[in-house]
Amino acid sequence: MLSDRPEMMLDDSSEIITDKAEKILEIHRWDSASPEEHKRSEFTFDNSIRVRKGMDCSEAWTVFFYESYNIENTDEFKNLYKRAIRGEMTREEWVFENAKLEHAAADKFIIFAEDTLIPYFRSRGMKTDHINDYVSFFSLPVESWMMNDESSYPWNYWGKYYDTYMGK
């Protein structure tokens, strides 16, 4: 992973970060392909995590660790997909249920970020803006995201996906 994304290289070979990453990659695969064009990161249903090239160190680690929690919901994401394909979910239900899964992953990420990631980067004088942005965004109740217009998350991703692949 680090040879593929050198921007994630840490100056001090920290065991806190790299040990957790190694444990994650014992279960999930690293995929050197770039995520979908408009995304910073993603996980795939073949059990891989992807991170866009060229981000700064803390942002790349932020999205990697977030996706490591998000990928744990693979079975639930697949079940929602099956339900939507069978016509058992409206577009709004589809968007809301997928957003709830991502929010649940973020709840776990926030604990890790506040306990480990932010203190680690701050102690080394590194930026934590991207981590703070994730924590702030995901600290909002998932219902508040649904009040946004459809040009913003989660509508611009999950709504578009529904429109494109569910044939509605």
135 φ, ψ to 5°?
A: -60, -45
DSSP 14: -
User: Tell me: the pLDDT tens digits for 20-33?
Assistant: 999 999 999 999 99
Rounded to 10 deg, the angle between the 91-112 and 129-139 helix axes is: 130
Peptide bond between residue 119 and the one before it cis (omega within 30 degrees of 0): no
Provide CB contacts within 8 A for 65, sequence distance 6+: 20, 24, 109, 112, 113, 117
Q: Two tokens at 80?
A: 């929602």
pLDDT at 18 (0 to 100): 86
DSSP bridge partners of 48: 29, 44
User: Tell me: the pLDDT tens digits for 111-166?
Assistant: 999 999 999 999 989 899 989 998 998 888 888 877 767 888 888 889 999 999 88
User: Tell me: the pLDDT tens digits for 39-79?
Assistant: 889 999 899 999 999 999 999 999 999 999 999 999 999 99
* Average pLDDT for 34-38: 82
* Average pLDDT for 91-104: 94
pLDDT at 168 (0 to 100): 53
DSSP 137: H
